[in-house]
Amino acid sequence: MCLAIPGRILERSGRDGTAWGRIQFGGIMREACLDFVPEAAVGDYVIVHVGFAISVVDRAEAERSFALLQSMGVLEDELRSDLEAG
């Protein structure tokens, strides 16, 4: 099952005509395409699904969603594999 997860944009960059961002999901950092949210800026929260930011959300909504996902244990496997890899 694929989920859309809220994260905060830490950096924006461009490569080969595509907008990219370094996104923070709690303790996890990932890169995501920002082409679907051209208005998103560093510090904004976005919903990311399969590597694409699909909408901008406010901080309170992002934090509520992330807390709910954590309480359900949905993010545990992702955090564990990041810790094992690092």
Higher pLDDT, 57 or 73: 57
Question: For residue 23, what is the enclosing H or E element?
Answer: strand 18-25
Distance of CA 54 to the CA centre of its chain: 10
Residues facing residue 47 across a β-bridge = 6, 55
Residue 68 is predicted with a pLDDT of 87
Q: Which of 66, 31, 67 is nearest to 52 (CA)?
A: 31
| CA 70 – CA 56 distance, rounded (Å) | 20
Residue 86 is predicted with a pLDDT of 46
Is the pLDDT confidence value at 35 over 80?
yes
- Average of per-residue pLDDT values in the chain: 86
CATH architecture observed for domain 4-85: Roll (2.30)
pTM score above 0.75:
yes
Instruction: Give the residue extent of every domain in the chain.
Output: 4-85
